[in-house]
Amino acid sequence: MKKIIRSPGSATIVNAIATGSGSAFGINLDIVAEAKLRDFGIKCSPDLDIDTSLMSICAKNVFNYYDIDFEGNNDMDVCGVEILTKSNLPPASGLSSSSALSNSITLAISKLLAEEFDKKPMNDLEIINLAIDSSLEAKVTITGAFDDATASYFGGVTVTNNMDREILIKEKMDDHKVLIYMPNKDSMTANSEVKRMKLLAPLVDIAFEKACQKQYYTALNLNGILYSNALGFNTEIVIDTLSAGAIASGLSGTGSAYVAVIDDQSKDHVKDIWNSYTDSGRIIETEVDNLGTSIIN
């Protein structure tokens, strides 16, 4: 028996690190996780060269939730799992790769074990919360990234109180195209300068207020300028992108990816601007994802 789950990444509207509240929207870059039963143990086989600690922790926590022994040490129900992942979502870039990974693996193994052992399946928020707990345990997130996790799980846009894990707004996002600029620089969230970001709290509150008013693009622009400045990223990229006609532009997460929401008229202009930079990185074309996490098999 196996389960295959697809979870998209997300892009930042308001980064929650400064205030504990944030907003994000799904993007059509994803991680596909396949989980299949084995006799015992947890085997992780990612397609990318990444640390598998988060994968293992997600699996362990689902087994513990259902009180199933994966090591064969007790008289409880015993089985193990093998996890394979395929991803076109760049890691360590601010595009919620950790949320997509933890969501997909947690849901896949939950479905697998619930069916195999006739257990009551977790509901959506239980899946999300366990995935966040695993991400915190793996130390790949600062706030738990409830905004990123919910945008990845449900698709569309979410506005959240991350500290209380409360969804304030959850709705479809306009079906715009999205361009992502990837400078030649990775940025692990857990290594980011939290003190510098928290200094921004009064200004980030303004961006969050705009998100609560569903002025998502204004919030994204303001947040992008604030955080790129605080983290030492080039704020001119945001301004250049807007001057090229983008609907909105900003740093996603703690970087290094910049996101531009575009229309057909601005697409080529934005790409030309980005390609003109002397240290030009990679450009990815995608779109808003309103589907969210889904069961493939």
Strand partners, 45: 84
Residue 97 in marked binding region: yes
**Count H helices, E strands: the chain?**
9, 11
- Is 202 labeled as ligand-binding? no
Q: Measure Cα distances from 258 to 6, 52, 240, 249 in Å.
A: 23, 26, 12, 7
Residues 6 or more apart whose Cβ sits within 8 Å of residue 265: 245
Please tell me the distance from the alpha carbon of residue 147 to that of residue 22, in angstroms, as a whole number. 6
Determine if residue 230 is labeled as part of a ligand binding site.
no
21 is in an annotated binding site: no
Cβ-contact 70, 81 below 8 angstroms: yes
Q: Report whether 94 belongs to an annotated binding site.
A: yes
Residue 100, annotated as binding a ligand: yes
| 90 assigned ligand-binding residue | yes
CA distance 15 to 278: 28
Q: Running DSSP on this structure, what letter comes out for residue 205?
A: H
Annotated binding site for ATP: 90-100
Annotated binding site: 90-100
